[in-house]
């Protein structure tokens, strides 16, 4: 029995529930405090009753902050307890995150050794707690349209040369598919797009909406190879410029558009789209607005349409390294992308939104291979990146890629591919 969780409470499930229903939780909390405040009574109360009411008010006021601090505290202490039980030398060596930050700052040590030696414990420290309190809670609980726009510069507007140095010629920022395991990155990305086209049973002339179209390669291939009428949307101006040039004169349409506000447009098909795709974009929607996003997709998809939904996720039987890696990613790579969740949570969400799951795959090992290819590209372009952006940004991105290779390889992070139709559409099944 663990000291920090003697009753075996599923902290992950509790946190997901609190975030998803945060407006109701906060509203209930405010109502409770107001009710307690108004029921305190007047000055005529006896000292004993006044003390009782004051105690009730204090308890009500501290309920939600106490729950949040308790959860954070249990994770912090739990990570140290877990590291001690697993035999890490937590008293004489820095944590894994602290050692990686040292590498980013100085370039000393061997990155592979730091990640793979098992000497540095994935305990929660000042880096994790600072980010959690400073930024993550605000983005996770509120997650407004303004947050989405504000996160784009850090996530996707670093410079197209930065991403080409990582992603290669296809500029696909999503996992590839490796039929034999020996494919090049470009071959794996083409296989993935061909898989998407097969999954949605794409035919020439069909209308397709690609939500989070990135640098436009998927749009390009579905348009030019499969003859689809594709509309792509992105929130990044740099992606828009690149994708527009890539798809010049092929008939595809690329828009600068927040997916959460897409129904405000008047230039989309009134009867909906035949097919909708979204590849590793919904993580940015956030846990709190996941249902809102899926509802938008459901409304824009024709009744006999197909929705291909690809999302990065986490394993259900989590470990503390999963959380420390995830917080690093949120701080430095994908700010605001808090909706990377286990498959059970994702499947519940899509079914609640009115979809039926026709096909699902866990492709975490392919994700790890893709990341390994990105890491090779990044290291091959070291001189250019260091010369243009500096050594610390280079090493921080190297840590992201190398740590993510490990995370996807061991199952901390994974990749889900879901093919969905509208529930109740018998002919489409």
424: left (phi over 0), alpha (psi -120 to 50) or beta: left
Predicted pLDDT at 1: 36
pLDDT in tens, 115-134: 999 999 999 888 888 777 77
pTM: 0.85
pLDDT at 78: 85
pLDDT score at 131: 79
Query: Kind of pairing, strands 355-362 and 273-279?
Result: unpaired
* Per-residue H/E/C for 355-387: EEEEEEEECHHHHHHHHHHHHHHHHHCHHHHHH
As a whole number of angstroms, the distance between CA 101 and CA 105 comes to 6
- Regions of the chain short of the pLDDT cut 50: 1, 3, 143
**What integer pLDDT is reported at residue 141 of this predicted model?**
56
What is the predicted pLDDT for the residue at 426?
84
Amino acid 126: pLDDT: 84
* pLDDT of amino acid 156: 65
Output the 3-class SS for the chain.
Answer: CCCCCCCCCCHHHHHHHHHHCHHHHHHHHHHHHHHHHHCCCCCCCCHHHHHHHHHHHHHHHHHHHHHHHHHHHHHHHHHHHHHHHCCCCCCCCCCHHHHHHHHHHHCCCCHHHHHHCCCCCCCCCHHHHHHHHHHHHHHHHCCCHHHHHHHHHHHHCCCHHHHHHHHCCCCCCCCCCCCCCCCCHHHHHHHHHHHHHHHCCCCCCCEEEEECCCCCHHHHHHHHCCCCEEEEEECCHHHHHHHHHHCCCCCCEEEECCHHHHHHCCCCCCCCEEEEEEECCHHHCCCCCHHHHHHHHHHHEEEEEEEEEEEEEECCCCCHHHHHHHHHHHHHCCCCCCCCCCHHHHHHHHHHCCEEEEEEEECHHHHHHHHHHHHHHHHHCHHHHHHHHCHHHHHHHHHHHHHHHHHHHHCCEEEEEEEEEECCCCCCC
pLDDT for the residue 3? 47
Model confidence pLDDT, tens digit, residues 257-272: 999 999 889 999 989 9
**What pLDDT is attached to residue 26?**
73
């Amino acid at each position: 029995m663990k000291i920090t969780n003697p009753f075996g409470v599923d902290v992950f499930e509790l946190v997901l529930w609190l975030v998803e229903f945060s407006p109701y939780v906060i509203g209930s909390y405010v109502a409770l405090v107001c009710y307690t405040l108004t029921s305190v009574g007047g000055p005529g109360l006896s000292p004993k009753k006044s003390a009782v009411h004051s105690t009730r008010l204090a308890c009500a006021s501290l309920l939600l902050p106490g729950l949040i601090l308790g959860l954070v505290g249990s994770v912090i202490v739990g990570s140290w307890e877990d590291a001690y039980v697993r035999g890490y030398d937590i008293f004489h060596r820095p944590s894994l995150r602290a050692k990686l930050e040292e590498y980013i700052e100085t370039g000393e040590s061997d990155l592979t050794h730091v990640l793979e030696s098992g000497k540095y414990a994935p305990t929660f420290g000042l880096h994790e707690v600072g980010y959690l309190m400073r930024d993550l809670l605000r983005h996770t609980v509120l997650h407004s349209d303004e947050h989405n726009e504000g996160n784009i510069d850090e996530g996707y507007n670093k410079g197209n040369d930065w991403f080409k140095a990582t992603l290669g010629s296809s500029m696909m920022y999503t996992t590839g598919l490796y039929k034999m395991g020996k494919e090049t990155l470009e071959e794996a990305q083409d296989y993935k797009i061909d898989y998407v086209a097969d999954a949605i049973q794409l035919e020439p002339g069909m209308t397709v909406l690609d939500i989070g179209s990135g640098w436009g390669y998927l749009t390009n291939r579905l348009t030019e190879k499969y003859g689809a009428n594709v509309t792509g949307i992105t929130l990044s101006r740099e992606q828009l410029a690149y994708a527009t040039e890539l798809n010049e004169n092929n008939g595809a349409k690329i828009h600068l558009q927040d997916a959460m506000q897409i129904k405000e447009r008047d230039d989309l098909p009134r009867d909906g789209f035949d097919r909708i795709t979204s590849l590793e974009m919904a993580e940015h929607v956030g846990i709190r607005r996941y249902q809102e996003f899926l509802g938008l997709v459901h409304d824009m998809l024709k009744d006999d349409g197909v929705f291909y939904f690809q999302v990065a996720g986490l394993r259900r039987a989590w470990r503390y390294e999963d959380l420390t890696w995830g917080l690093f990613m949120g701080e430095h790579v994908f700010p605001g992308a808090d909706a990377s969740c286990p498959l059970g949570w994702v499947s519940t969400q899509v079914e609640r939104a009115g979809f039926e799951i026709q096909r699902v795959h866990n492709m975490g090992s392919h994700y790890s291979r893709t990341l390994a290819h990105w890491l090779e590209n990044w290291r091959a372009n070291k001189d250019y990146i260091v010369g243009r952006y500096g050594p610390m940004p280079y090493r921080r991105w190297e840590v992201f890629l190398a740590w993510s290779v490990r995370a996807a390889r061991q199952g901390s992070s994974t990749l889900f591919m879901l093919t969905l139709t509208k529930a109740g559409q018998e002919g489409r099944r």
